[in-house]
């Protein structure tokens, strides 16, 4: 399946506007493309207890899994400055699809491309528990 990178980044940028980020004012949007062709979105949801904050990437993955999807082709992550996914998000992305394309964009749509496994080499995963 062909990946429309621009459309995925555009959707992540739109959902970024829905983020709840009253403490950091650092809004993040994610658009996760499943192998089914369905796109699952997520945005960050902050909490006064910072450890309870939910990142956009993990929100999108949880939404996808709750809708029955577990294999992913790509994810677009849009932040104000093109910030990279945090370590927890990198771990979650690798759990499901280490080879997925990761598009990291700023709010203007300028992006760079990598993979989940490149963001977290030598990750701990399901293979370690077999």
Active-site entry in 52, 57, 67, 113: 57
Report the C-alpha gap between 57 and 89 in whole angstroms.
6
Sheet with 29-34: list strands edge to edge: 39-43, 29-34, 72-78, 101-105, 111-115
Q: Is 109 exposed, middle or buried (0-12, 13-18, 19+ CB in 10 A)?
A: middle
Which structure tokens are listed for 105?
Answer: 């964009």
DSSP structure class, residue 78: E
Q: Determine whether 57 is an active site residue.
A: yes
Active site residues: 57
């Amino acid at each position: 399946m062909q990946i429309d990178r621009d459309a995925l980044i555009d959707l992540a940028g739109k959902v970024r506007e829905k983020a709840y980020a009253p403490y950091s004012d650092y809004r993040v949007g994610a658009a996760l493309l499943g192998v089914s062709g369905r796109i699952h979105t997520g945005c960050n949801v902050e909490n006064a207890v910072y450890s309870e904050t939910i990142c956009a990437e993990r929100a999108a993955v949880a939404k996808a899994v709750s809708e029955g999807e577990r294999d992913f082709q790509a994810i677009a992550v849009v932040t104000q400055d093109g910030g990279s996914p945090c370590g927890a998000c990198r771990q979650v992305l690798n759990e499901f699809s280490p080879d997925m394309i990761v598009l990291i964009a700023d709010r203007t749509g300028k992006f760079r491309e990598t993979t989940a496994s490149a963001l977290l080499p030598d990750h701990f995963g399901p293979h370690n528990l077999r």
